[in-house]
Every structure is written in structure tokens, then in C-alpha cells.
Structure 1
Amino acid sequence: MKIEKIELFAIRLPLKVPFIVSYHRYDDMPSVIVKMTSACGHVGYGEAVADEHVTGESLESTISVIRHLLGPMLLGKNPMHLEQIHDVMDRAIRDVPAAKAALDIACHDLVGKKLGLPVYEWIGGRYHDAFPVTHVLSIGEPEAMAHEAKQQIEAGYTSVKMKVGVDVASDVERVAAVRQAVGPGVPIRIDVNQGWVNAGKTLQAMKQLDGYDLDWVEQPVRADDFEGMVEVKSKINVPLMIDEGVRGMSEMRRLTMMQAAHKVNIKLMKCGGIYPAKKLLHVAEMSGIECQIGSMVESSVASSAGFHVAFSSKIVHSVELTGPLRFSEDIGNLSYDLPHIRLNDQPGLGIDVDEAVLERLTTARYEVIG
């Protein structure tokens, strides 16, 4: 089995409503779709959702690095040889995890289709039968967030995650409004996306949020401030999750050595794909750190890849892969059984890509030349 052809599609996925986090507002989601064809005729799809604020990549840089560097190096390679493929990519260029993730995911889809097996079956086998899907609230006015939260809980969701990180005072108002709206029994998680910057502001915020029965708080300080995470963890009574602070193995090693958080949010776009994500999970499991598989608001392609990692991993306790639910149009058909997600037993990623929709959303198209 050899990789014969790699095509790239720059697309913009339309959001139903803008998605707002502490560092950016997204009116649509730019994405790079990889279509990988093997010499035996199988087709695998991958996806890169780059984020300048998290991975240091853009849509344009991702296309360039795949088109001119990584893609040509993989032509003729066996997509089953994932250890070698990642070694080749890592030797060629440092970082660029979303670009590597797109190629990694496409390889996994190809291999699964060749074997006639879902990806989860050959990266560990199914462990979980289903995961509850948490509704994610982007940043808005307290009343609007509270109204949306109440609507979604009434619609069947069992938990909510709030994006915060504007400033301490208004964030406390947001949490208070949502808690009042959903009542005392609904789990609420808050994701600060580094917005409180340092341990001092975070401790001030968490003191004011004491009593709102939060499930956990995610990445309140700057991504590289592991010392700040340690201080926060030692002084609050709510579980602490790290996200932007852990991309690859070096940060995971630092996390485990410092025990800087109770939980870690692993994303394929941050670490380089399915294969390195499984390695990170093994390290976290050895250190007793609970894991979540998250996303950068991705289409059915990368979202399904994340779910295959989650469903095959005992240490994964939660998922946050809701991109397809936020889009008014998607290129794939990943199916949610809300408020849960259950994977099918189709080969590869288990989704069909609608070529007509892909063509309609494409703004630029390229073929990798060896």
C-alpha cells in the first residue's frame, strides 16, 4: 500500500452563529482538507484547523508546508508506517502540528479502509460505548448565555461548558447567570482560554466563583505558565484542566513532572494527529492525569478522528468535539445521538465526505507534486 496522490482544499466552514473565545471571534472556520489516494484506489481524508493563537499556524502556512514540504515527502510512503511517517515529518520541520495532523488523519482513514476496520479497532479497540456531549457556550452577555444554557438543558444536554476570560467581574456575572438558569444539578465547566493571564487574577476569580459548584476550570493562565498552574492548583478546590499549555510530548512531560493540573485537554491539532495523541494519552495515564479529547471546532473529518482516539482510550473521561453541531453546512456526515455520541462500525473514520459540498466550500485547491 502506497500513497499515490495528495490533494488540498482550502475551505471555510459556515457557523450558525459566531463563536467567541477570550482571544478571538470566529464568524466562520477556515480549514484545510487533505484528500489522500493510495495506489490501490482507497481514499482517505484528513483535516487541519490551524489557529495562530494556539498552534502558531494559519490556513495559508498550513497549505504551504503540506504542499511544498511534507506532502511531497509522503508520496510513495506506506500509510501504515506511522512511526516512520511522523519521524520523517518531525525531521523535516519543527512544530506545525495541525499540518501534520491533517496528513496523519488521512493516513489513518486510508489504513482503516484498506483493513476494512474502524480506526478505533486497530488503535486500541473500542473501550467506551458512548460519551455525553457537552453544550459549549461562546462568550456573550450573561443573560444571553443563561438563556442559551437553559434552552440546551431543556433540549436534552446534561452539562454545559462556558467560554469566559474577558475580565473577572463580568466572568463571575456570566457564571452566576448560567448557574441560576440551569439550576443546581447541572455540571458547569468554565474555559478561560488563558484570559485571566496569571495566578493572581485566577485566584481572585475562583474565590468569587466559590459556591457555584463548578466541575472544573480550564487553562486560566498563559499557556507557558506552568508555575502559575501549580500555584492555582494548590489553592483552589475545583479540578484544574490544562489545554493550550500542552501540545506535544515535551509539555506533557513537564506537566507530569510538575503535576501542574488534574486534567489535560488533548487535541489532535495541537499534537500532530491520532498517532501522537495516543502516545500522550499513555503518558498521562501513567501519571494519573485524567484526559479529555477536544477540538479546534473542526468538521466531521477531524472531529471523527478525535472520537476514534477517545473511544479507544480508557483514560479519556470526557470529549469536546462539537464542531459539526455548530456548522450550518458540513462536508461530512458524522452523526450525533444527542445528548450522546456513538460511533458506527464503518471502515476508516466512518464518515462519507460530500464532494459537492466540499467543492462548494472550497476557496482554493492544490495537488501535491512529488
Structure 2
Amino acid sequence: MRIVSADIRVLEVPLRVPFIVSYARYDVMPSVIVSLRTDSGLVGYGEAVPDEHVTGETVESVVAAIAGHLLPALRDTDPRNLNLVHERMDRALVANGAAKAALDIACWDLLGKHAGMPVHALLGGRRPEQPMIAKVLSILPPERVAAQAAEAVSQGFTHLKMKLGSDTEQDVARVAAVRAAVGDGIRIRVDANQGWRDVATARRMIAAIEPFGIDWIEQPIAADDLDGFRRLRPHTNAVIMADEAVITAGDLARLVRDESVDMVNLKLMKSGGILPCQRLATQAELGGLAVQIGSMLETSVSSAAGYHLALAHPNIVSTELSGPVAFSDEPGDLHFPLPYVDITDRPGLGVTLDPAALDRLTVSAKELITE
């Protein structure tokens, strides 16, 4: 089997409410959907959702990387040979995790469709349970985020993830307001997205919010301050998760060596797709760190890819792939009986794309002939 053509579509996917984190506000999410067509007639779908604040990629750079470097490197490569696919992509271009993830995911979709098996079966077999998602709460005034938290609980969510990091005084008030609104039976985790920046501020903030019963604190310091996690560790018993700080195996090895975090948040967009994240999850397991699979707010395509990996890997204990429930319109068809997601046993990713929705959301498109 070989790839004979590819479609690249840039989408703007509308959010139900703005998504606000410490470093940006999004009213729509950019997405690059890639369709790989093979000489056997199969089509595989992949997705890139770049974040210039995390991987340094933009929509424009993703399209350029795929069209100008990655797809040419895969000419005459069997897309089912994922090891060779990544070897050739890595030789053609360093980094560019989101661009590589789009092709990796499409190749897994092709492999599953060719084999007549879901991706999770190809990764070793699924757990029996359906994965659960948390409701992600943007940075808002305390009374507004508390109201959104209460509404989320009424919808069936049992876990909440609060975005923090824009204002330390308001951050404490936000956590207090949400805990008061939802009571003690709802699980709360927080993500500063590097917003507290330095170790001293992180120590103070963790101490201030711990009394409200927090499951874990994600990326409290700057991503490039790996030593900061080591300095922070002796000053708190809170569960600490690294996210933006973990992209490569080298990043993860440093955190394992320092015994400075308890968990890592792996994302297909950061590290290049399912195969690299599977390897990182195993590396984390060997180092004694639990894994969450997160996302950049992706459509059903990349979200399904993350869920397949999470279902198949024993060290992935949490999933935060909530993009489809955050969108008011998207091309895929993942089903969310809250607070769960229904991952089927259909071949490949198990996602069907709606052509009308794709056309409605597309802002630019190009077709590439790879033969």
C-alpha cells in the first residue's frame, strides 16, 4: 500500500464559549485535517491543532511542513509501517510535533481500516471501561466560573479542570468559589499553564489552594525551567503534573531522574502522534510516573486517536480530550454520554467525517498528488 494523494484542509472550529488560558484566548480553534488516499482506495484521516505557545507551530507552518517536507519524505513508504514513517519524517524535519501527528494519526487510521480492526486493538487491546472526561473551565471571574462549574455538574460531569495562572489573588478566589458551588463530592484539578512562572509563586499558590481539595496541579512553572520542578518538590505534598515541559524523551528522562513530578500530560500534538506518545507513556511507566493524555482542543479525529491510545496503555490513568464537547460545530461524530466518551470497535479511528461540516468549516484547502 502507498499514498497516492492527500487533501489538506484548514478549518476554523467554533467554540460554544471562549476558551481562556493564562497565555491566550480562543473564540475558534484552528485545525488542519489531512486525508491520505492510498492506491488500494482506503482513506485515512489525521489532524493537527498547532499551538505556537507550546510547540512553536502555526497553521501556516503545519501546512508548509506537511506539503513541503513530510509528505515528500513518505513517497513510496507503506503508511502501515509506522516505524519507518516516523524515521523518515524525523529525518526530514526536526520537532514540528503537530504536523507529524496529523500524518501519524492518518496512517494509524489506514492501518486499522486495512486490518479491519480498531486502533486500540492494534495497540494491544482495550480496557473494558469507557474513558471519562473532565469539564474544562476557562479563566473567568470567580462568580462566572462557579456558575459554569455548577452547570457542568448538572450536565453529568464528575471531574472539573480549572484553568488558572492569570492573576494569583483571583486564582485562589476562583478555586474557592468553584468548590463552594459544587460541594465536596466533585473532583477538581487545576492547570496554571506556566502562568505562575517561578518556584516561589508556585509554592505560595499551591499552599493557598490545597485546602480546597485539589487532585493535582498541572504545569505551575515555566516550561523551560525543568530544574524548577526539582526545587519545588520538597516544599509540597501536592500531586504535580508536567505538561508543556514534556515534549521529548529527553524531557521526560530529566523529570524521572530528578523525581520532581508525579504525573505527565502527554499530547499527540506535542510529541508527533500516537506512536511517539505510546513510547513516552511506556518510558513514564518505567520511571514511576502516571500519564494523562491531553489535547489542544481537537475535533473528533485527534480526540479519537488519543482515546484509542489511552484505552490500550496500562499507564494512562486520565484523559482530557474534551474538544468535541466544547465545539458548537465540528466535522466528526464522537459520542459523549457525559461524563464518558463512547469509543467504538469500528476499524481505524472509528470516526466518520461529515462532508457538509467539513465544507462549512474550511477556510482553505489544497490537494497534493504524491505519486
For 1:143, the equivalent position in structure 2 comes to 143
Asked if 2 retains the 8 angstrom alpha-carbon contact of 1:128 and 1:314, the reply is no
Contact 1:230 1:260 in 2 (8 A): yes
- Contact 2:300–2:333 (Cα < 8 Å) also in 1: yes
TM-score normalised per structure 2? 0.98
Q: How does 1:240-319 map to 2 (within 5 A)?
A: 240-319=240-319
1:366 & 1:255 partners in 2: Cα distance?
41
In the TM superposition, 1:1-370 aligns within 5 A as: 1-370=1-370
**Structure 1 residue 128: Cα displacement:** 4.6
Contact 2:143-2:177 at 8 Å conserved across structures:
yes
Which range moved further: 177-186 or 320-329?
177-186
Distance 2:68 2:122 in 1: 31
Structure 2: gaps of 5 or more residues: none
Show CA shifts across 1:216-247 (max 9, x none): 00001000111111222221121000000001
Alpha-carbon separation, structure 1, partners of 2:41 and 2:259: 47
Paired residues of 1:284 and 1:290 also in contact (CA < 8 A) = yes
Matched residues, percent identical?
46
Cα shift at 1:265: 0.3
Contact 1:242 1:264 in 2 (8 A): yes
Q: Structure 1: give runs of 5+ residues left out of the alignment.
A: none
Q: Using the alignment, how far apart are the partners of 2:51 and 2:155 within structure 1?
A: 31
Distance in 2 (alpha carbons) for counterparts of 1:359 and 1:75: 28
Aligned AA for 1:199? V
1:283 alignment partner, SS class: helix
Give 1:361 deviation, angstroms. Answer: 1.0
Cα distance, 1:210 vs structure 2? 2.9
Moved more, 289-298 or 72-81: 72-81
Q: For the residues of structure 1 that align with 2:295 and 2:196, how far apart are their CA atoms?
A: 21
Aligned residue type for 2:284: A
The whole-number CA distance in structure 1 between the counterparts of 2:185 and 2:230 is 29
Comparing 149-158 with 40-49, greater Cα deviation is found at 149-158
Paired with 1:98 and 1:329, the residues of 2 have a C-alpha distance of: 22
Q: Is residue 131–residue 307 contact of structure 2 (8 Å, CA) maintained in 1?
A: no
Is the Cα–Cα contact under 8 Å of residues 36 and 44 in structure 2 kept in the other structure?
A: yes
Counterpart of 2:321, as a letter, is L
Aligned mates of 2:252, 2:207 — CA distance in 1: 28
Instruction: State the alpha-carbon separation in 2 of the partners of residues 320 and 98 from structure 1.
Output: 17
For residues 71-116 of structure 1, what are the alpha-carbon distances to aligned partners after superposition, in whole Å with 9 as ceiling and x for unaligned?
1222321011111110111111110000000000000001100000
Instruction: Give the conservation status (yes or no) of the 8 Å contact 1:130–1:340.
Output: yes
| 2:4–2:369 contact (8 Å) kept in structure 1 | no
RMSD: 1.0
Shift of 1:5: 1.2
Task: Count residues with an aligned counterpart.
Answer: 370
SS at match of 2:177: helix
Q: What TM-score do the two structures reach when normalised by structure 1? A: 0.98
> Are the equivalent residues in 2 in contact too, given 1:72–1:368 (CA < 8 A)?
no
